[in-house]
């Protein structure tokens, strides 16, 4: 056992954050939805070391069905399908380790933001719920770290994700913290958890994601139910500022993601023996075929599929900010995905599922 120290080699330099503390002397429920959500959270606590079967080995062949989460389905290209099974299994293992590592680091960020919200939100019911979320996020960090170490190794945090976590932690505005974490980061994670849980055939990962996703559906509900009550109380300038904060959070995770994350993935794939030039030539030549079954305007990822419908529900998707979202999504994914114009873009945005937990479990579309 290493000697205990006040500073460790793996910690980052201190991050200066703005934080206010709000006492609330009314202990009676005044936001019934949040008090009910708090009660559900206390009843749904689980124990990672007890409730997951960590003795089972990871079946890497079954694991190779786990989606890569690259937006365009690279794994369906003729080049990828021509690879030997042992190569594709290793590719999936390392790619998933990187992707799951980003989930892990995001959960640590959510842990710290939730702890900040206990101090900063003004309503007792909101403080109670943020306290249960803090416990949830600690548990998520624990189980993701344990699973990744069983699968491969924990990979460093992507700069884009680190940037948005820093920005959310540093702001002194509790509503921006809620929007940045509960709506944008949690929304992206929820969509990815659903996709990964639905498509993976690896039993332990599926079981882990089932527990985590149920918690995350409550976290998302907390953000929606609280923010949609708060937004009508804001002035025009405050609402615009909150809209722009959500826009910038999503832009960082999509625009820089497309550059930084892809570079890291190519490095990982090259280590396994993939020829990036041949892979991307295959992707370029077959892109039309790979996206042919997508109706025009259909989202190819979590921003259009979940984050934007959430912002619309919360009153934070004006036509002004929608045009900015459409612009950068079209630049990244093309008109077939984003729609030809803002009108078409908004027309194809789905409604939020009535029951997020059932949607996450694949019980409803």
97-125 confidence digits (pLDDT tens): 999 999 999 999 999 999 999 999 999 99
Asked if 184 and 307 count as a contact pair (C-beta separation under 8 A), the reply is yes
3-class SS letters over 78-111: HHHHCCCHHHHHHHHHHHHHHHHHHHHHHHHHHH
Asked if 122 and 22 count as a contact pair (C-beta separation under 8 A), the reply is yes
Asked if 197 and 206 count as a contact pair (C-beta separation under 8 A), the reply is yes
**From CA 70, how far away is CA 20, in angstroms rounded?**
38
Give the largest CA-CA distance in the chain.
Answer: 65
pTM for the predicted model, two decimal places: 0.91
Q: Tens digit of pLDDT per residue, the chain (365 long)?
A: 568 888 888 898 888 887 789 999 999 998 999 999 999 999 999 999 999 999 999 988 888 878 777 666 788 889 988 999 889 889 889 999 999 999 999 999 999 999 999 999 999 999 999 999 999 999 999 999 999 999 999 999 988 889 899 999 999 999 999 999 999 998 888 888 888 898 888 999 999 999 999 999 999 999 999 999 999 999 999 999 999 999 998 888 776 555 567 788 889 989 999 998 999 899 889 877 876 665 544 445 788 888 999 999 999 999 999 999 999 888 877 777 788 899 988 888 888 888 888 888 888 77
Asked if 356 and 220 count as a contact pair (C-beta separation under 8 A), the reply is yes
- Cβ-based burial of 25 (10 A; exposed 0-12, middle 13-18, buried ≥19): exposed
**From CA 276, how far away is CA 265, in angstroms rounded?**
10
User: 125: phi > 0 → left, psi -120 to 50 → alpha, else beta; which?
Assistant: alpha
DSSP symbol at 292: T
**From CA 293, how far away is CA 73, in angstroms rounded?**
12
**From CA 129, how far away is CA 272, in angstroms rounded?**
44
Hunting for tokens 């709506």 — which residue is that? 183
Asked if 120 and 32 count as a contact pair (C-beta separation under 8 A), the reply is no
Q: Tell me the two tokens of residue 22.
A: 């709000």
Give the other-Cβ count within 10 Å of 89's Cβ: 17
Q: What is the pLDDT of residues 188-199, one digit of tens each?
A: 888 888 888 988
Q: Which of 305, 294, 95 is nearest to 191 (CA)?
A: 305
Q: Which residues of 202-231 are buried (b: 16+ CB within 10 A; e: fewer)?
A: bebbbbbbebbbbbbbbbbbbbbbbbeebb
Q: Tell me the two tokens of residue 246.
A: 């959500």
**From CA 173, how far away is CA 162, in angstroms rounded?**
19
Listed in sequence order, the residues at least 6 apart from 82 whose beta carbon sits closer than 8 Å to its beta carbon are none
């Amino acid at each position: 056992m290493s000697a205990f120290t006040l500073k460790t080699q793996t910690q980052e330099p201190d991050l200066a954050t703005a934080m206010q503390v709000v006492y609330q002397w009314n202990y009676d429920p005044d936001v019934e939805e949040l008090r009910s959500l708090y009660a559900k959270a206390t009843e749904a606590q689980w124990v990672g070391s007890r409730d997951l079967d960590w003795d089972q080995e990871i079946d890497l062949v079954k694991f190779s069905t786990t989606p890569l989460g690259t937006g365009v389905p690279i794994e369906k290209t003729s080049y990828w399908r021509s690879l030997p099974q042992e190569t594709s299994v290793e590719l999936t293992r390392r790619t998933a380790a990187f992707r799951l590592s980003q989930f892990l680091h995001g959960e640590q960020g959510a842990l710290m933001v939730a702890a900040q919200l206990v101090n900063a939100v003004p309503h007792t019911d909101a403080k109670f719920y943020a306290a249960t979320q803090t416990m949830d996020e600690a548990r998520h960090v624990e189980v993701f770290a344990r699973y990744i170490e069983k699968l491969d190794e924990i990979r460093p945090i992507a700069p884009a994700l680190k940037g948005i976590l820093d920005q959310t932690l540093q702001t002194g505005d509790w509503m921006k913290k809620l929007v940045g974490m509960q709506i944008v980061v949690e929304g992206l994670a929820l969509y990815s958890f659903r996709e990964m849980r639905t498509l993976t055939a690896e039993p332990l990962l599926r079981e882990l994601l089932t527990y985590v996703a149920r918690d995350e559906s409550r976290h998302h509900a907390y953000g929606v139910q609280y923010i949609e009550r708060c937004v009508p109380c804001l002035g025009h300038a405050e609402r615009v500022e909150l809209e722009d904060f959500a826009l910038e959070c999503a832009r960082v995770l999509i625009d820089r993601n497309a550059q930084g994350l892809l570079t890291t993935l190519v490095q990982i794939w090259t280590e396994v023996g993939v020829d990036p030039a041949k892979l991307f030539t295959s992707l370029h030549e077959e892109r039309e075929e790979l996206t042919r079954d997508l109706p025009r305007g259909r989202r190819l990822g979590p921003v259009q599929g979940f984050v934007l419908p959430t912002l619309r529900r919360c009153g934070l998707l004006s036509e002004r900010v929608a045009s900015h979202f459409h612009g950068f999504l079209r630049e990244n994914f093309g008109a077939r995905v984003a729609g030809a114009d803002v009108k078409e873009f908004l027309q194809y945005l789905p409604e939020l599922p009535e029951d997020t937990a059932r949607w996450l479990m694949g019980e409803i579309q």
